[in-house]
A and B are shown apart, each in its own frame.
Chain A
Amino acid sequence: MTGTEDPTNDEMLVQTDVSEGLSASESSPKRDAGTVISSNDINVWYGDDHALTDISMEIPENSVTAMIGPSGCGKSTFLRCINRMNDLIDVARVEGDLTLRGKNVYDNDVDPVALRRRVGMVFQKPNPFPKSIYENVIYGLKIQGIEGDYDEIVEKSLKRAALWDEVKDRLHESGLDLSGGQQQRLCIARAIAPDPEVLLMDEPASALDPVATSQIEDLVEELAEDYTVVIVTHNMQQAARISDKTAVFLTGGELVEFDDTQKIFENPESQRVEDYITGKFG
């Protein structure tokens, strides 16, 4: 699979290019119990490099699923399969099924832009636009021409992102004037403004200080009440603290173990996982 968009603008695209529905024929049921995302033998190549090998897992609704593993193991690559961000990389090729509520997101009739409205994303480095806090939150909605009570959406999104009380008196000041932790929560508010079903987070706290990290971690747990959160983290203790399920990817793009977080951190099945999480290699 190839894409024509500039990969350097990928973060902007997810935040801005949203439209109605995944496809014309696809309904958008929300908040059903059970599996939201299901991958079946997903393989990804970057040119000749086989980045992910036969990844199969089912991600449950309204929960936090953490992806851990050493650098280069493919965890971020898998995250980017979920909202087809790998489309933006010319040499990337994806095979296998990855369904969002039963619909394969790689079907020809799926509009990646529409997909990304249902699957929001937050990145490692806070990336607010050089606009006001208010404009940052509603930017995606405005770009796609969605009308609504923006004041209400801004308040609701900022409250869900646990930022409202800190910025409610300066909504029209620049988002860039906020602290790093506040900027990241602004990005989360922006990601949830279109009311997605899934929130992908790629190391969302790795650039933050411990206090801001704690706030993000608390927020992730709260967000899981409304959204299905999938988070990539290098911090294993963070995965242990906030996730319900943990997927351990190891070198070679292999998903070695996927289970309840408690099971992974107390008694993993795989010796390789045990060795990785106890620091004996990796």
Chain B
Amino acid sequence: MARNTYQARLEELEKDVLYLSELVAERVRYALNALEDKDERQAEEVIEGDREINRIYLDLEQDCIDLLALQQPVAGDLRFIAASFKIITDLERIGDLATNLAQYALDAENDVYTEVDIRRIGDSALDMVDQAMDAYETEDTDLCRSVAERDDSLDEMCDNASQSIVRDLMSTGDFEGDGDVEPEEFLVDVRRLLLTVRDLERIGDHAVNVAARTLYMIDNDDSLLF
């Protein structure tokens, strides 16, 4: 094996990307816990931890630029670095979305539309992220395609949740909740719930991006990018 330092840096990059993904997944999990349990401590941990995620993301971005500039990678190495460069952006954005979720948990005044199963939607989105990163680590093309296929199911869950809320508001004309809550406050809580659903759906989209870049990395196959 030649270019030992270079090979070691490629392995280090992979390890660091996987570390970032674990950190981001953990933050999403904490945010979901915070939403479910109204756990302010976990919510604050997610918000405060975003700076660390951003720092690691920028470090990894620089590592990719250094490898491109100094090592002139080609072929599989080039695809690995190019894919990793894009994947870390998706991971950083998932981190941002986890921060949003944590902020919603802190801001939520009242439970509204408790029949909307945020935990189930969130676990599904998080599982897609885990699966996409497994595909990246094990270079599993089937897993990449599986993530993309699962996105339809997540989208459907999110659509159903949003539509049921809006349909209920439209059909009942009840913009005042159960009467104990100020109408304005009730609407803010509903809006926050809709944003939660939207952000979870976006986490799924980022998981699909990771899977698409991973498929390109493994097989030079860009079919999931479109």
Seen from chain A, the residues whose Cβ lies within 8 Å of a Cβ on chain B are 236-237, 240, 264-268, 273-274, 277-282
Contacts and interface: CB of A to CB of B under 8 A. Distances in A.
A273 B7 CA distance: 17
Given A266-B220, A267-B220, A274 B76 contact: yes
Given A266-B74, A274-B75, A281-B1, 11 more contacts: A236-B72, A236-B74, A265-B78, A266-B79, A277-B75, A278-B74, A278-B76, A278-B77, A280-B7, A281-B2, A282-B2
B19 interface: no
B62 to A, nearest CB: 22
Interface string B86-109: 000000000000000000000000
A266 B2 CA distance: 20
Contacts of A236: 72, 74
B61 to A, nearest CB: 21
B8 to A, nearest CB: 13
A279 B220 contact: no
Interface of B: 1-3, 6-7, 72-79, 220
A277 B3 CA distance: 11
A66 to B, nearest CB: 13
Chief secondary structure at chain A's binding surface: helix
Contacts of B6: 279
B74 A240 contact: yes
Contacts of A237: 72
Contacts of B73: 278
Contacts of B75: 264-268, 273-274, 277-278
Contacts of B78: 265-266
**In this complex, which of A264, A265, A279, A281 has the most chain B Cβ atoms within 10 angstroms of its Cβ?**
A279
Contacts of A278: 3, 73-77
A280 B79 contact: no
5 contacts: A236-B72, A265-B74, A266-B75, A279-B2, A281-B2
Contacts of A280: 1-3, 7
A281 B3 CA distance: 9
Given A266-B79, A267-B79, A267-B220, A277 B74 contact: yes
Nearest to B77: A278
B194 to A, nearest CB: 43
Nearest to B7: A280
A84 to B, nearest CB: 34
B216 to A, nearest CB: 10
Contacts of A265: 74-75, 78
B4 to A, nearest CB: 10
B141 to A, nearest CB: 14
A281 B7 CA distance: 12
A274 B80 CA distance: 13
Nearest to A265: B74
A218 to B, nearest CB: 19
